[in-house]
Structure 1
Amino acid sequence: MSALDTSSTELQAFLSPRMVQSTVSPVMRQQVSALEPTLARICSYHLGFIDEHGDPSSAEGGKLTRSALMMLAAVGVGLPPEDVRCQAAALELLHNSTLIHDDIIDADELRRGRPAAWKVFGASLAILAGDALEALGLQMVVDDPGPGRAEISSVFAEAIGLVLAGQARELTVRLGPDTGIAEYDRIVEEKTSALLECALVTPALRAGRPEHVLAALRGAGRHLGLAFQIFNDVEDIWGDPTVTGKPVRSDILRRNPTFPVLAALSVDSPAGERLRRLWHADGTTEAHLQEMANLVEESGGRHTAERLSRNHLDSALEYLGQAELSPAASTELTALFDRIVNRTP
């Protein structure tokens, strides 16, 4: 059966998470295993291929969300998903390079329920491992001989540059909550949206689709990233740690000005003023963090964030509808967008 001639139901089965995993993970394993042995071991650990002793592991290695987006978009523009297997694996490696570095920057000791790579192997080697994944991902795209190689390579290079710029920008504003919403949006568009745009645009470049299709897919990826990150910010304060995979209110603990906090601080009210005082205080107790979370909600930060996340998701779907994808692929991408933002099964 060809994925190009399927209904939405058949396509859902054809591009199931297990199929995406079985298509992309072997490529990632093969490429990572060719790295310098120490770096290969650290990267393989981070990706869940092995445990800290080097033995095979069945640990969670990520949902391969960007691969799923890319492969569905490939079907949408008339390509077999295997045509972008190399690019999908490369994008996952680039994404994971940023996760290794993020864990070090944020001093997060856990990643997917296991000690983060830097806790097991040390920060210095983990930095190098993240760099190695970044270089490997870009090299895979450059070496692939298929159509649109130059354009796709350029998109990948631009995406990783934006991610790094967004990370740097985030570090300059996390010292206080006075940054505006526009600056927050810029950081998210760089750190989160850039790789999602890359996932959606790559198949269209391979298929030689016109600029208006590329623009629609970029818009879909940009708004999807904003919807996801804003909802993720809500979950950090009020979500279930077993779902989010990180301690509740960790961003507040680090005084990282997420969207609900920024929205609450922009309100001229007694609750907003109290929140400002607590934000600049040194308190890290559970009671201190809980009070700040309560004040964010009282000031309307949670409601504003949830509403804006829904609005961005609606915008992402509107752009998706302009991308001239096949109906089945468009239907499945719509469902995937919702799962990405709302963490639905």
Structure 2
Amino acid sequence: MSTLDTSSTGLQALLSPGTARSAVLPVVRQRVSALEPTLARICCYHLGFTDERGDPAGAGSGKLTRAALMTTAAEGVGLRPEDVRTQAAALELLHNSTLVHDDIIDADELRRGRPAAWKVFGASLAILAGDALQALSLQMVVDDPGPGRAEVSSAFAEALRLVLSGQSREFTVRLGSGADIAAYDRIVEEKTSALLVCALVTPALRAGRPERVLAALRGAGRHLGLAFQILNDVEDIWGDPAVTGKPVRGDIRRRNPSFPVLAALAADSPVGERLRGLWHGDGTAAAHLQEMADLVEESGGRHTAERVSRGHLDSALEHLGRAELAPAASAELAVQFDRIVNRTT
């Protein structure tokens, strides 16, 4: 593809999720298939390319959210989607490495509606598969000969460092007694926002855009991650498993202090006190979890979470407006931001 249709209609057709999928998935499949055979089999299963026997499968491979953001941001800074295709594929691999590891850490048995990789192949091999995806991701950006290679490689390494830091910090908050919104925000900025920031800034780094543009894109990614994660926490408690691909109330069962819970626990009321007592107990029966969910909602935790998520989305769009991107690409990114946070089609 040598030219881009920069009209709004043409851009939407070019950079639809299906287009990002067709551009990036072949790269992902090719690179993962070249891994050591056992690791390749596990990674291909996790990505939905194959079933547990290694036969072709029609399972979903994810929404390629970060790849779509990166290819759209590329047009915004005067690049073509193929100019960042390798980086977009690498970021999807890095993201999926965190999913493989998260499922093990959280003992989540389902991923995208089917058994998680660790349930099929065992935790030890799944850990190695996640590590292999991380190494492959970094190798892809380091080996790419395009402009801004050093800066992009540094951005990927920093994103990985932040994700690992956030994962470690989450254990401290989960087990400690001082969990609050500020601690929650920091974890989300590291675990979730870091990869979204990487998706948005990578094209600007390749295009040599100035620091003010990078700062605006970093701000957009930071707030987008917070908006997404807070609403994702709402879905964990009250969402539809057919949409999320996981059973509801996993965070409550693990006593993982998600945003609605933190907001509810902060409420100075008898309801908040009742919730606090149940939270520090060890009940995991369905009725116990349902009661906690009801108390979170009665305490205003759900309403507060939805309101704060909307505020972060508005802030993300404000930062996006300061990023000096081509208007059509900026408009398409705004649509993608809403789709990410609200799971709109």
| Fold in common (TM above 0.5) | yes
| Letter of the structure 2 residue corresponding to residue 262 of structure 1 | L
Task: Determine the structure 1 residue equivalent to 2:78.
Answer: 78
* CA RMSD of superposed structures (Å): 1.1
Worse-superposed segment, 238-247 or 318-327: 238-247
How far is the alpha carbon of 1:135 from its aligned partner?
0.2
Task: Determine the structure 1 residue equivalent to 2:222.
Answer: 222
Instruction: Work out whether residues 3 and 11 of structure 1, in 8 Å CA contact, stay in contact via their aligned partners in 2.
Output: no
Instruction: Work out whether residues 177 and 257 of structure 1, in 8 Å CA contact, stay in contact via their aligned partners in 2.
Output: no
Q: Distance in 2 between matches of 1:323 and 1:225?
A: 17
Residues 1:2 and 1:9: Cα distance change in structure 2 (over 3 Å):
farther
Matches within 5 A, 1:166-181: 166-175=166-175, 178-181=178-181
Q: Distance in 1 between matches of 2:255 and 2:51?
A: 33
Task: Determine the structure 2 residue equivalent to 1:94.
Answer: 94
| Letter of the structure 1 residue corresponding to residue 283 of structure 2 | G
Worse-superposed segment, 280-289 or 192-201: 280-289
| Letter of the structure 2 residue corresponding to residue 20 of structure 1 | A
CA-to-aligned-CA distance 1:199-218 (integer Å, 9 cap, x gap): 00000000000000000000
Q: Distance in 1 between matches of 2:220 and 2:3?
A: 23
Instruction: Work out whether residues 104 and 118 of structure 1, in 8 Å CA contact, stay in contact via their aligned partners in 2.
Output: yes
Report the TM-score, using the length of structure 2 for normalisation.
0.98
How far is the alpha carbon of 1:6 from its aligned partner?
2.0
Task: Determine the structure 2 residue equivalent to 1:339.
Answer: 339
Task: Determine the structure 1 residue equivalent to 2:274.
Answer: 274
Report the 3-state secondary structure (helix = DSSP H, G, I; strand = E; otherwise coil) of the residue aligned with 1:315: helix
Task: Determine the structure 1 residue equivalent to 2:293.
Answer: 293
Report the 3-state secondary structure (helix = DSSP H, G, I; strand = E; otherwise coil) of the residue aligned with 1:128: helix
Aligned positions, number:
345
Q: Distance in 2 between matches of 1:245 and 1:334?
A: 25
Task: Determine the structure 1 residue equivalent to 2:248.
Answer: 248
How far is the alpha carbon of 1:62 from its aligned partner?
0.5
CA-to-aligned-CA distance 1:160-202 (integer Å, 9 cap, x gap): 0100010011112212563111110000000000000000000
Instruction: Work out whether residues 173 and 183 of structure 2, in 8 Å CA contact, stay in contact via their aligned partners in 1.
Output: no
CA-to-aligned-CA distance 1:233-290 (integer Å, 9 cap, x gap): 0111111111111111111011110000001111111011000000011111111111
Worse-superposed segment, 1-10 or 138-147: 1-10
Instruction: Work out whether residues 176 and 255 of structure 1, in 8 Å CA contact, stay in contact via their aligned partners in 2.
Output: no
Report the 3-state secondary structure (helix = DSSP H, G, I; strand = E; otherwise coil) of the residue aligned with 1:199: helix
Q: Distance in 1 between matches of 2:270 and 2:175?
A: 23
Matches within 5 A, 1:8-19: 8-19=8-19
Report the 3-state secondary structure (helix = DSSP H, G, I; strand = E; otherwise coil) of the residue aligned with 1:58: coil
Worse-superposed segment, 293-302 or 270-279: 293-302
Report the 3-state secondary structure (helix = DSSP H, G, I; strand = E; otherwise coil) of the residue aligned with 2:35: coil
Give me the identity figure in percent. Answer: 81
Q: Distance in 1 between matches of 2:301 and 2:178?
A: 15
Report the TM-score, using the length of structure 1 for normalisation.
0.98
Task: Determine the structure 2 residue equivalent to 1:47.
Answer: 47
Q: Tell me if 1:189 matches 2:177.
A: no
Instruction: Work out whether residues 112 and 244 of structure 2, in 8 Å CA contact, stay in contact via their aligned partners in 1.
Output: no
Task: Determine the structure 1 residue equivalent to 2:24.
Answer: 24
CA-to-aligned-CA distance 1:81-105 (integer Å, 9 cap, x gap): 1000000000000000000000000
Instruction: Work out whether residues 3 and 75 of structure 1, in 8 Å CA contact, stay in contact via their aligned partners in 2.
Output: no
Instruction: Work out whether residues 72 and 333 of structure 1, in 8 Å CA contact, stay in contact via their aligned partners in 2.
Output: yes
Q: Distance in 2 between matches of 1:180 and 1:120?
A: 36
Q: Distance in 1 between matches of 2:111 and 2:133?
A: 17
Task: Determine the structure 1 residue equivalent to 2:309.
Answer: 309
Q: Distance in 1 between matches of 2:49 and 2:241?
A: 24
How far is the alpha carbon of 1:2 from its aligned partner?
5.9
Q: Distance in 2 between matches of 1:15 and 1:149?
A: 24
Report the 3-state secondary structure (helix = DSSP H, G, I; strand = E; otherwise coil) of the residue aligned with 1:281: coil
Report the 3-state secondary structure (helix = DSSP H, G, I; strand = E; otherwise coil) of the residue aligned with 2:175: coil
| Letter of the structure 1 residue corresponding to residue 60 of structure 2 | E
Matches within 5 A, 1:27-38: 27-38=27-38
Task: Find runs of 4+ consecutive structure 1 residues off by over 3 angstroms.
Answer: 1-5
Report the 3-state secondary structure (helix = DSSP H, G, I; strand = E; otherwise coil) of the residue aligned with 1:174: helix
Worse-superposed segment, 91-100 or 293-302: 293-302
